[in-house]
Amino acid sequence: MKVGLFINTQFPEGFNLAERVPEMVAQVRAARDAGFASLWFPHHWLTHPMQMLQITPVMGYVAAHAQDMTIGPNILILPPLNPMHVAEEAATLDVLTGGNYILGVGLGYRQPEFDAFGISLTWPIGGGVSDFGSSK
Question: CATH number for the domain including 20?
Answer: 3.20.20.30
What does the pLDDT look like over 50-81, one tens digit per residue? 999 999 999 999 999 999 999 999 999 999 99
Main-chain phi, psi angles of 10, to 5 degrees: -120, 135
107 neighbors 78 (Cβ within 8 angstroms): yes
pTM: 0.86
The total domain count for the chain is 1
Distance CA 97, CA 114 (A): 30
Domain with 31, as residue range(s), is: 4-133
How wide is the angle at C-alpha 125 spanned by C-alphas 9 and 78, nearest 5°?
A: 20
